[in-house]
Amino acid sequence: MVTPSIPIIDIAPYFEGSPTGKQHVAEAVDRACREIGFLVISGHGIEPQTITAMREVSRRYFALPVEEKLRLRMPTDRYRGYTPMGSEGLAASLDQVAPPDLKESFSIGPVSVPNDEYHKGPQAGPFFADNFWPDQPEDMRAVWETYYLAMEQLATSLMRIFALALGLPEHWFDDKVDRHITNFSVIHYPEPVGDPPSGQLRAGAHTDYGSLTILQKDDAPGGLQVQGHDGSWLEVPHVPGSFVVNLGDLMAEWTNDRWRSTMHRVVMPDTEERSHSDRYSMAFFHQPNYDAVIECIPTCCSADRPARYGKTTSGEHVVMKIEKHRAPDQVNTDVA
């Protein structure tokens, strides 16, 4: 089977609101999700300055001394704060043995969280834990929260496009993602130093965990690759101002594998390109409400195609995956 290319889809017709425009976008998204599980979207409506501000403030944060960043090192009981080099190995989320990833990151969860039983009660655990914020850069919190809320709106729109693509009412997913537990991370891949060990990757081969990921990446050498049907690796194109969207494991389970949660990785730059391979990726790992039940969507199963998966919840699934990908000294059963 020939591996399809990663499509570039203009989703502006969805926002224009006509039934024809919405259906056109939904059909294109359905094809991409069936064939490769990755797509590049334009026409998304996110202001360029929102992206630029995020990238600029994040560069200033990661330029701080390591000792300063470690003051907010991610604790073992929540997915918030700074993760230093060598603290994660994404390949381990699929039980693969590989060197720890060559990346550092800073992560937050939901912002503007209500103080009610659902969000702060015992069932919520640490899913809505407070975010950590460094003293410097002073504008980091404001910029990050603005970006997070913009991604939240875009993710809701994408889930509505997904619903149409799956032959469901447009708002079918709304009550399953209206109190989502999304983690957002900016990931910094520094220029490699020295000779890396055999098998070293910037981010090990893995699939994402939730419903979808919205990624804003740059074009520095040593980038994102997607595994094709034949096992070969395909470069994800860089389209300025666009976002890369890929499906996570829960969407594959929801759709009974009608749609693909595709293996991907971030590779090391070639030796001659290392001196200009400093790389930043901004990843919104959209995760449905912690109590959202994930089971086969009615339009994705039949007598000829029975449900392949049992029931799980969004919260149970993401805890299991994060426990696996953390380095041994980072593992804790209360991760969120």
SS (HEC) of 218-257: CCCCCCEEEECCCCCEEECCCCCCCEEEEEEHHHHHHCCC
Tell how many helices (H) and how many strands (E) occur in the chain.
9, 14
| Cα-based torsion angle of the residue sequence 241, 246, 248, 251 in order, rounded to the nearest 10 degrees | 110
For the chain of 336 residues, list the mean pLDDT of each consecutive stretch of 10: 82 97 98 97 98 98 97 93 82 65 94 96 95 98 98 98 98 98 96 80 90 95 91 93 96 96 92 89 97 96 94 91 61 35
Cα–Cα distance for residue pair 79/334, rounded to 1 Å:
10
The domain that contains 132 carries what CATH number?
2.60.120.330
Q: Is residue 2 part of a domain?
A: no
Q: Is residue 1 part of a domain?
A: no
Q: Is residue 256 part of a domain?
A: yes
Q: Is residue 91 part of a domain?
A: yes
pLDDT at 331: 38
The model's pTM: 0.92
**Inter-axis angle of helices 48-62 and 140-165, nearest 10:** 130
Provide the token pair at 17: 């609101």
Q: Is residue 336 part of a domain?
A: no
Q: Is residue 23 part of a domain?
A: yes
Q: Is residue 16 part of a domain?
A: yes
Could you give the number of structural domains in the chain? 1
Q: Is residue 154 part of a domain?
A: yes
The domain in which residue 256 lies consists of 8-330
Q: How many CA atoms lie within 13 A of 285 on its CB side?
A: 23
pLDDT at 91: 57
